[in-house]
Structure 1
């Protein structure tokens, strides 16, 4: 016999706990905090309803009275981390404020390396996410553009930061798994790359590497990325066309 079709719902529209019985033993904040602790310690793959229940000291089935689906648990986790954002009084310099937002987002992702995997518009309208969005829109009040453009800017900025941090984290994670030092690994790869470039088969790459042979400053690259995203939204003067 076919099961009843699932009905879509939003976790925030549900009461804290369904069913009858005594006063709930846990809040959503308790559950989210337990899941975040697990993810920080073991990675996102270490988060399951069973493991969160064990962390809280309750039965797995009883946890479903609070959180009906694992996707809801993920949404609670993203919202909990969203609450870590500092919401300051806008400075009046929208570019400076949006850079500050980007740096906060990057820092949160480094504190919680599993977070980039859960970044999704689906989780973008939780209580803390809405407060964050309203704050960002207030920071952009001096930016003379339609609200839709401001939301597009924020989405693009967050997307770039998420991609950037994902690369940073994957590089760090890989280095930790190596049976030798990161310096040894880099030395071998640089030597191989040098031999290939010196072959003459890649003249443009050779020119690029000769132009800037020093170590990559990841902070400076991050700054330039932010500038280029924000530059793309700066109002153009009349007659500038699409240049």
Structure 2
């Protein structure tokens, strides 16, 4: 089994390659290079885009687990079997969903020439994008083959990195590291936001760390906790983490 470079909104990674992708064996040529609508026969009352939009809406409102072929068929007013010529399984549907929402990552300004600053802009765009679609970090955890919208955003990211001294492979790796960081941060952010809704839990955690810091067995932690506070909003924390990541990428 050879290795291929797979690039998606999570970046690029080396993966075992057998000509297909995803758990269900999605064929990228069939998915992205074939006509999106049937060439022959009676034209159905729905389109591949309508199916994709319905699936994205379900995922946004009810979570990724709500996206089933049966539910999507009901949303577009079709029978389940009629969907299979567009998306034969959920993995294919996820590919369509990921690329569809990637179309929201529109960039109007050309790269500034400051690739570090432009990478930060890209990362902030991705964070906003993933928070808008909370199912996206989970969907991106599986290998995806980039569709046209994803490729357009990747093209911009590579153009941003042109002023750097990185070669082509390293540019793909940088984009992979950046977007994997964003996906991981957003997944954690969503989980923490749900947990922090409990005031009792927040108070209990504060008491717990105060006790741990004062027991004398964790001096390094006690010193760290006693340091002057920094802004702890998700936005400020993300910016600090992102700055450290890009500093590391620049030094590599």
Which region of structure 1 is more displaced relative to structure 2, 201-210 or 222-231? 222-231
* Compared CA separation, residues 212 and 218, structure 1 to 2 (3 A): farther
**Are residues 1:147 and 2:168 paired?**
yes
Q: CA RMSD in A?
A: 2.2
> Is the Cα contact below 8 Å between 2:55 and 2:67 reproduced in 1?
yes
Question: What displacement does 1:8 show?
Answer: 5.6
- Listed one character per residue, the Cα deviations across residues 128-163 of structure 1 (whole Å, up to 9, x for unaligned) are 111111111112222222111111111000011111
Q: Does 1:36 align with 2:52?
A: no
Contact 1:197–1:205 (CA<8 Å) still a contact in 2? yes
User: TM-score by structure 2 length?
Assistant: 0.82
1:68 maps to 2:88: yes
Does structure 1 residue 9 correspond to structure 2 residue 27?
Answer: yes
Q: Which residue of 1 aligns with 2:237?
A: 221
Q: How does 1:91-102 map to 2 (within 5 A)?
A: 91-102=112-123
**Length, aligned pairs only:** 226
What TM-score does the superposition give when structure 1 sets the normalisation length?
0.85
1:206 match: 222
1:193-223 Cα distance to aligned partner (Å, 9 max, x none): 2123222121211111111356624323211
1:56 aligns with 2:110: no
- Give the greater-gyration-radius structure (CA): 1
User: Unaligned stretches of 5+ in structure 2?
Assistant: 1-23
Name the counterpart of 1:131.
152
Correspondent of 1:83 among 98, 103, 112: 103
Query: Structure 1 or 2: larger strand share?
Result: 2
2:207 — aligned with what? 191
Match of 2:15?
none
Go from structure 1 to structure 2 and tell me whether the alpha carbon gap of 1:133 and 1:7 turns closer, same or farther (over 3 Å shift). Answer: closer
Once the 2 structures are TM-superposed, how far is the Cα of residue 232 of structure 1 from its aligned partner?
Answer: 2.1
Residue 139 of structure 2 corresponds to 118
Secondary structure in structure 2 of the residue aligned to 1:123 = coil
**Distance apart, 1:24 and its partner CA:** 3.1
Cα distance, 1:17 vs structure 2: 4.5
SS at match of 2:75: helix
User: Runs (4+) of structure 1 moved beyond 6 Å?
Assistant: none
Task: Summarize deviations over 1:83-109 as a string: whole Å, max 9, x none.
Answer: 000223222221121111101100011
Unaligned 5+ segments in structure 1 are: 1-5, 177-181, 237-243
Deviation string 1:1-41 (CA, Å, 9 cap, x unpaired) is xxxxx976221133324595301322222111110000011
Q: Which string of whole-angstrom CA distances, capped at 9 and with x for unpartnered residues, describes residues 31-77 of structure 1?
A: 11110000011000010000001111111111112111110000011
Higher relative contact order (CA 8 A, sep 6+): 2
| 1:46 aligns to 2:66 (yes or no) | yes
2:228 matches 1:234: no
Q: Which residue of 2 aligns with 1:161?
A: 182
1:97 match: secondary structure: helix
